Amino acid sequence: MRAFDAPSAPWSPGHRGVDLELAVGARVVAAADGVVAFAGTVVDRPVVSVDHADGVRTTYEPVRPAVREGQRVAAGETIGHLEAGHCPVLRLTTCLHLGARTAPRTYVDPLRLLGADVVVRLLPEDMDLAG
């Protein structure tokens, strides 16, 4: 739904992850083996973060956690279920925001870490999807 857009500086605007279309209630799985670093609420949104052995931290939102902090998870294991609230209402869909970082302020494209061969098609902001 929306591609990674690296900020020019840590404080600059950007899109520090990717938005993947997914239905509300769908299970969300760990991208790789790791340890749950956080499972709770950030401001008004449920979030799960997983630390991986290679130093990458993946973050999934808005995800109702099915795991707890400190729990080991395997790649493909359910870590929670998608809730509504991330994609703009005009998109007429829901999505998972998947982020990845290698340091507290160094975000990377999570699709490249997964080795995913994905084509992201962006729609114009003003496109009328309702008809």
**Cα separation, 51 vs 1, whole angstroms:** 25
Q: What token pair was written down for 31?
A: 């991208």
**Residue 131: band (very low, low, confident or very high) from pLDDT cuts 50, 70, 90:** very low
Q: What is the CATH number of domain 29-113?
A: 2.70.70.10
What is the model's pLDDT at position 103?
A: 84
Q: How many CB atoms lie within 10 A of CB 111?
A: 18
For residue 102, CA distances in Å to 1, 54, 88 come to: 23, 9, 27
Please give the residue that has the higher pLDDT: either 100 or 91: 100
Q: Determine the Cα angle at 24 with ends 19 and 14, to 5°.
A: 20
The pTM of this model reads 0.78
Residue 22 confidence (pLDDT): 86
Instruction: Using the predicted structure, report yes or no on whether residue 94 has a pLDDT greater than 90.
Output: no
Mean pLDDT of 66-84: 96
Alpha helical stretches, state H, the chain: 110-114
pLDDT tier, 3 (very low <50, low <70, confident <90, very high otherwise):
low
Domain boundaries of the chain, sorted by first residue: 29-113
